[in-house]
Chains A and B, each alone.
Chain A
Amino acid sequence: MTDLTKLTLSEARDALHKGDISSVEITQAHISAINEAKELNCFIEVTSDKAMDMAKAADETIKSGNAKGMTGIPIGMKDLYCTKGVHSQTCSHILDGFKPEYESTVSQNLWDDGAVMLGKTNMDEFAMGSSNENSYYGPVKNPWRAKGSDKNTVPGGSSGGSSAAVAADIAIATTGTDTGGSIRQPASFTGLVGLKPTYGRCSRWGMIAFASSLDQAGPLTKTVRDAAIMMESMAGYDPKDSTSTNIAVPNYEAALNGDIRGLKVGIPSEYRVDGMPEEIENLWTQGKEWLKSAGAEIVDISLPHTKYALPTYYIVAPAECSSNLARYDGVKYGLRVTGDSLDDMYKKTRAAGFGDEVKRRILIGTYVLSAGYYDAYYLKAQKIRTLIANDFKTAYQKCDVILTPTAPSAAFNLGEKVSDPLAMYLNDVFTVPASLAGLPGISVPAGLSAEGLPLGLQLIGQAFGEEQLLNVADVLEGAASFNYKPTKWWGE
């Protein structure tokens, strides 16, 4: 009997549709695996009863012949998504006890398609972080460890619980969210595929907001095909979200035809940053070769404002979050710390409820929007954002997709960067530009570092060009043949 937790989403789907396995079986297998992997701290809430009910219902649907791609597939849901009646706190203390009376559009889309909820996954509080060390519920341990080491590494962030869960085979797939790289970078650190679609592709309704002009929903999966299947279920126009785009969702899986002959792949010179580890540069070169062998044309391009992307992001995102997080005030939901006055209650509640990184970003955001500084910081950053977006528009006159490394390193050790916020921010150097431009990006596992830790390569696509992007990613994945799995050190 195949270990059901070793299946990919498409394999499980096929088996389920054929009747070889049931959703109840595969869900149960994953719940057992979750229980065994508690040490990793991937899940902050396991909804086993609910999962079994959903699995039973999915089996009925499959029997009646109405199954979709996601029907019966057990997945983890990032704690940032509002799930009705279930813990939804973006792993923050300030939303203590909050169980929404409504369901996010993206999660509802998945449940409507018959997916099964295993539980809510751990994350950096309010999606602010690159290592999942900013969670109220404690850090997540990456199932990957450096060769011969017993030190725990970070799974990346903010979707750390989601990435670690799939890498440890305790969920077939998970949802993540990506604002500056929070799906792609964890995917790279854990040897997975992580897709951030074009801004507006997925609805943000019911997604607890961090930075409204950047947040996007996306899947973390074992393969590109899996990502295509899951993305199709998650995506779609939502009239409840004014920034949602009314474009039909295509059959993404059908776009995987393996043919990229004549495709122009852009290589941006500015992504060759100072101090870039040699092995990452080599992997990038290797990636070029793989695509060239498959018939693509390699084109040198320039994205001149690349180096300003991170500082731009660290003005825009905090500014938006300082406003988005103002509603966490102890009045309507979550934590309340009593005070002598209303203001006192606000101050004490928010001081006690928010973690350090969240507070830092709220303060920065408040500052850059404040009188006298708005023009020099926020307005300036929004103008540079236009320049960054224009860089891509110009580049896409010469190429179809862009190839870059995903992260400037492999997974680092827990605790290594936690006291240096700036060092932490630098993790997103390759992922942030696409976020600022609203473009889709995908990380594909491409190789191992010298220490045996996963390294990913990123492909950036054109707006609403996910079909082409996924197709190239599929080819790259095939060429890379990343068939490694972490050695199991947890459980027992």
Chain B
Amino acid sequence: MSVDKETVAKIANLARIEVSEDELESTVGELNNILDWVEQLSEVDTDGVEAMTSVVDASLPRREDKVTDGGYRDQVLKNAPQSEHGFFAVPKVIE
């Protein structure tokens, strides 16, 4: 399976990373190298094999329903590039 410029542009969009027209060319090459290399996995017979859900052989631990966190807005907003009136502020979105 290999990718072309159009596909890479789509993936870059899904990943919200701007890739310039020049970069697109080299990125296609790099990704194809890697994809060609991982292609060998299709040789492996995985019929009847369960996909690994976790190396940890346990089920999900559950915690008590208690309010033990939150309530420190200043700390939460401290590293924000922009915050106003207690909100995170971002360029306006039009729905």
Asked if chains A and B are in direct contact (CB within 8 A), the reply is: yes
Closest to A426 in B: B37
In angstroms, Cα B1 to Cα A345, docked, is 31
| Contact assessment for B38 and A311 in the assembled complex, using a CB-CB cutoff below 8 Å | yes
Closest to B78 in A: A101
Closest Cβ of chain A to B49, distance in Å, is 4
Taking a contact as CB atoms closer than 8 A, the residue among A98, A305, A364, A437 that contacts B55 in the complex is A437
Q: Which of A79-97 contact B (CB under 8 A)?
A: 97
Taking a contact as CB atoms closer than 8 A, the residue among A242, A343, A348 that contacts B61 in the complex is A242
| Contact assessment for A363 and B79 in the assembled complex, using a CB-CB cutoff below 8 Å | no
Closest to B33 in A: A422
Contacts of B55 in A (CB 8 A): 199-200, 213, 389, 437-438
| Contact assessment for A363 and B81 in the assembled complex, using a CB-CB cutoff below 8 Å | no
Q: Which of A35-43, A152-160, A354-362, A482-490 contacts B (4 or more CB under 8 A)?
A: A354-362
Closest to A198 in B: B55
Closest Cβ of chain B to A3, distance in Å, is 40
Closest Cβ of chain A to B82, distance in Å, is 7
Taking a contact as CB atoms closer than 8 A, the residue among B15, B31, B44, B82 that contacts A322 in the complex is B15
Taking a contact as CB atoms closer than 8 A, the residue among B56, B82, B92 that contacts A336 in the complex is B82
In angstroms, Cα B18 to Cα A370, docked, is 18
Q: Which of B30-66 contact A (CB under 8 A)?
A: 30-31, 33-35, 37-38, 40-42, 44, 46, 49-52, 54-56, 58, 60-61, 63
Mask, B69-83, CB within 8 Å of A = 1, is 000100110111110
Q: Which of A302-352 contact B (CB under 8 A)?
A: 305, 308, 311-312, 314-315, 322, 326, 329-336, 338-348, 350-351
Closest to B79 in A: A333
Taking a contact as CB atoms closer than 8 A, the residue among B1, B52, B58, B90 that contacts A385 in the complex is B52
Q: Which of A62-70, A262-270, A374-382, A466-474 contacts B (4 or more CB under 8 A)?
A: A374-382
| Contact assessment for B56 and A200 in the assembled complex, using a CB-CB cutoff below 8 Å | yes
Does A151 interact with chain B (Cβ within 8 Å)? no
Closest to A379 in B: B51
| Contact assessment for A315 and B38 in the assembled complex, using a CB-CB cutoff below 8 Å | yes
| Contact assessment for A245 and B56 in the assembled complex, using a CB-CB cutoff below 8 Å | yes
Asked if A422 meets B37 with Cβ closer than 8 Å, knowing A99-B79, A242-B61, A334-B79, the reply is yes
| Interface residues on chain B, size class | 35 or more
| Contact assessment for B42 and A389 in the assembled complex, using a CB-CB cutoff below 8 Å | no
| Contact assessment for A360 and B52 in the assembled complex, using a CB-CB cutoff below 8 Å | no
| Contact assessment for B31 and A364 in the assembled complex, using a CB-CB cutoff below 8 Å | yes
Asked if A339 meets B91 with Cβ closer than 8 Å, knowing A245-B58, A363-B27, the reply is yes
| Contact assessment for B52 and A386 in the assembled complex, using a CB-CB cutoff below 8 Å | yes
Does B16 interact with chain A (Cβ within 8 Å)? yes
Asked if A340 meets B37 with Cβ closer than 8 Å, knowing A363-B15, A383-B46, A386-B52, the reply is no
Does A458 interact with chain B (Cβ within 8 Å)? no
Contacts of B93 in A (CB 8 A): 341-342
| Contact assessment for A384 and B61 in the assembled complex, using a CB-CB cutoff below 8 Å | no
Contacts of A242 in B (CB 8 A): 60-61
| Contact assessment for B37 and A311 in the assembled complex, using a CB-CB cutoff below 8 Å | yes
Taking a contact as CB atoms closer than 8 A, the residue among A243, A330, A344, A376 that contacts B54 in the complex is A243
| Most A Cβ at <10 Å: residue of B12, B42, B44 | B44
Asked if A342 meets B38 with Cβ closer than 8 Å, knowing A336-B81, A364-B31, A389-B55, the reply is no
Closest Cβ of chain A to B35, distance in Å, is 8
Taking a contact as CB atoms closer than 8 A, the residue among A245, A308, A350, A373 that contacts B44 in the complex is A308
Closest Cβ of chain B to A239, distance in Å, is 7
In angstroms, Cα B78 to Cα A346, docked, is 20
Contacts of B56 in A (CB 8 A): 199-200, 243, 245, 438
Contacts of A387 in B (CB 8 A): 44, 46, 49
Closest to A343 in B: B16
| Most A Cβ at <10 Å: residue of B15, B49, B51 | B15
A residues apposed to B, CB below 8 Å: 97-101, 199-200, 213, 239, 242-243, 245-246, 305, 308, 311-312, 314-315, 322, 326, 329-336, 338-348, 350-351, 354, 359-360, 362-364, 366-367, 370, 373, 376-377, 379-387, 389, 421-422, 437-438
Give 7 A-B pairs besides A99-B79, A339-B91 with Cβ atoms closer than 8 angstroms.
A199-B55, A312-B41, A342-B91, A360-B34, A367-B3, A384-B46, A389-B52
B residues apposed to A, CB below 8 Å: 1, 3, 7-8, 11-19, 27, 30-31, 33-35, 37-38, 40-42, 44, 46, 49-52, 54-56, 58, 60-61, 63, 72, 75-76, 78-82, 88, 90-93
